[in-house]
Structure 1
Amino acid sequence: MAVLFRDFIYMDAEMERASRGDILVEGDRIAAIGPGPGELAEEIETVQGKGRTLLIPGLVNGHTHAAMVLLRGLGEELPLKRWLEERIWPVEAGLVPEHIYWGTRGAIMEMVSTGTTCFSDMYFEMDEVAKAATETGVRCCICRGLTGDDPVKVREGVELFRRWNGKGNIRVQLGPHAPYTVSLGALKEIVGSAADLGSGVHFHFLEAEWEEAFIRDRFGLSPLAYLEEA
């Protein structure tokens, strides 16, 4: 299937100069860019930019828990720690794979509607997230959120990497949740596993003011020294 975006404004590869012209997309590839793509079939789908619409690459959402759209509005009045412990974690304990799949599908619909075509997601039941992303054609980088010192969860993250990394538009990282849910020893193990796999690490860090004091009190380190130690 081909689509012609006619008379749009677009940037050059260096993002330094704007031009006005047509962009021809064939399947999942940009086939031509310029003043006009030449002879085209009459029945080709055409989107008119009228010289005043900017066409840019899709936006990237660098941190999501996509399926949590199902929990939107829950406990919004609470600070982070109470929000997690009193509202979110009890509800998440009852979620099943189907919830994660449909919640992610809904989140993807929202993201695409506002120009986001790639997202980085940390949650659980991540096969469902990968399935939803694959079916909708968006790009994503996923990780299984890892809490506590349970080696089983670390293995789940490694196995997720081996199942999905590089499959279609999917990339996989390891995802220790946060300093207040993962011991320093477990974090070091996860970072080591990520290095062995050649994957990145996705991590919550200093989300709230109390976390700096927590890190200093629990580990006897500054936040920067904590990261260097890990």
Structure 2
Amino acid sequence: AKEMSAIMNDAYSNGILPTNDDHFGWTKLLTDVFTGQFFDSDLIKDQKWHNQNGNNQTWLFTFTHRSTLSFGIEVDGWIPISHGAELPYLWFYPSKWETYNATDTDLAAADYMGNIWTNFAKNGKLDYPQAGEARNFIEIGDAIKQNTNWRATADDVFNKLIPELLGEFPPLKMSEQSWKKLRELGRKVLSKWNQTTCSRSS
């Protein structure tokens, strides 16, 4: 446990840990660690599985716009970007926008979100590189940026270093019967998808 803790703390603090009485610093560090462990690392596995099985039509993004519009949380100038923080910029909830003094950067982030999601819904693709083996991703904030190696720290720590110590957790071995059921279900889902009449723009 101590070795695991050291690996996580070192990776996410860049080797500079908060002091014992820096509770705010530890809160920010643990926020990053838990995000990597319970969210990022699993999404990376999912994207890798898509890639390994021939589905290259995947895109990754990170929402980096910091604003109190979504959750109204600010601590000593730090505005966390919580899970779901991008949703008000996509769906324009009246309860948020009608009571909030939006900035130009809020509106820019909403414009980026709207364009990206609308184009994907209409065309089933984006005018940005697919994730691929390099894990290309779009950073949606006050501007649009393109980058590679999405959530590299989470991949290194939770998909490589810790499994090397403890083995895969949870174990991913499945019985042949379970794989058979999944394959049968997959064929049904794919068949249903191919029967849909929803038209897409060319």
Same-fold status (TM-score > 0.5): no
Normalised by the size of structure 1, how large is the TM-score?
Answer: 0.21
Tell me: higher relative CO, structure 1 or 2? Use CA pairs within 8 A at least 6 residues apart: 2
Larger gyration radius, structure 1 or structure 2: 1
Q: Going by fraction, where is helix more abundant, 1 or 2? A: 2
Normalised by the size of structure 2, how large is the TM-score?
Answer: 0.23
